[in-house]
């Protein structure tokens, strides 16, 4: 009987690890207003910080037990190094899972870093977790073109 219980627990642990999913509903493309309308005096750089809508991206997490999400920039081929992209969680979404962290901006780099975590049970989930972005480093000195990057979110069991 002792071996049967150990086998059942080991099987459940393997199932729990494979049952984690994260879905992303993103509209994280937004246009930055032209700075030329705010320039009133020659010789000033007029640096600008732009934020997306509070729910620019919506995450859905379906996992068992405790989990964490990391975020990083995974594609930066057309990204100027003076641009700084940050991300924050602006709400809890829907569902009964408990969320912690992620409610202040973290600046993204090419290295994965902790974003936020959650605690679920067998029937818990979180849908529509709102994510907001902030870009710093916008400037009249930045060449005019389209800048793109990719944010990768990864879920891991704890």
What's the rounded Cα separation, in Å, for the pair 66 and 105? 22
Q: What is the mean pLDDT of residues 96-112?
A: 94
| pLDDT per position as a tens digit, 59-81 | 998 887 888 999 999 887 788 88
What burial class does residue 126 get, using C-beta atoms within 10 Å of its C-beta: 0-12 exposed, 13-18 middle, 19+ buried?
Answer: buried
What's the rounded Cα separation, in Å, for the pair 57 and 130? 6
Residue 68 is predicted with a pLDDT of: 93
Fold topology of 21-28+45-157: Immunoglobulin-like (2.60.40)
Q: Where are the domains of the chain?
A: 21-28+45-157
Non-local CB neighbours of 76 within 8 Å, separated by 6+ positions: 110, 149, 150
What's the rounded Cα separation, in Å, for the pair 153 and 116? 11
* pTM of the predicted structure, to 2 decimals: 0.78
What burial class does residue 97 get, using C-beta atoms within 10 Å of its C-beta: 0-12 exposed, 13-18 middle, 19+ buried?
Answer: buried
Q: 22-31, 68-77, 91-100, 124-133: which range is least confident on average?
A: 22-31
Q: What is the share, in percent, of the chain residues with pLDDT greater than 90?
A: 34
Reply yes or no on whether the pLDDT at 7 is more than 80: no
Task: Tell me which residue of 78, 51, 48 sits closest to 138, measured CA to CA.
Answer: 48
Six token digits for residue 118: 């959650």
| pLDDT per position as a tens digit, 25-62 | 765 566 665 555 666 665 666 677 889 899 999 999 88
């Amino acid at each position: 009987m002792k071996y049967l219980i150990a086998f059942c627990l080991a099987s459940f642990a393997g199932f729990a690890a494979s049952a984690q999913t994260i879905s992303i509903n993103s509209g994280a493309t937004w246009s930055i207003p032209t700075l030329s309308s705010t320039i009133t005096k020659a010789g000033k750089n007029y640096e600008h910080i732009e934020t997306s809508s509070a729910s620019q991206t919506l995450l859905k997490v379906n996992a068992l037990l405790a989990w964490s999400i990391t975020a990083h920039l995974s594609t930066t081929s057309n990204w100027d190094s003076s641009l700084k992209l940050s991300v924050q969680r602006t709400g809890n979404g829907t569902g009964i899972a408990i969320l912690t962290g992620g409610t202040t901006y973290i600046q993204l780099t090419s290295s994965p870093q902790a974003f936020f975590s959650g605690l679920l049970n067998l029937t818990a989930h979180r849908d529509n977790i709102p994510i907001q972005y902030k870009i710093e480093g916008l400037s009249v000195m930045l060449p005019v073109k389209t800048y793109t990057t990719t944010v990768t979110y990864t879920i891991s069991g704890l």
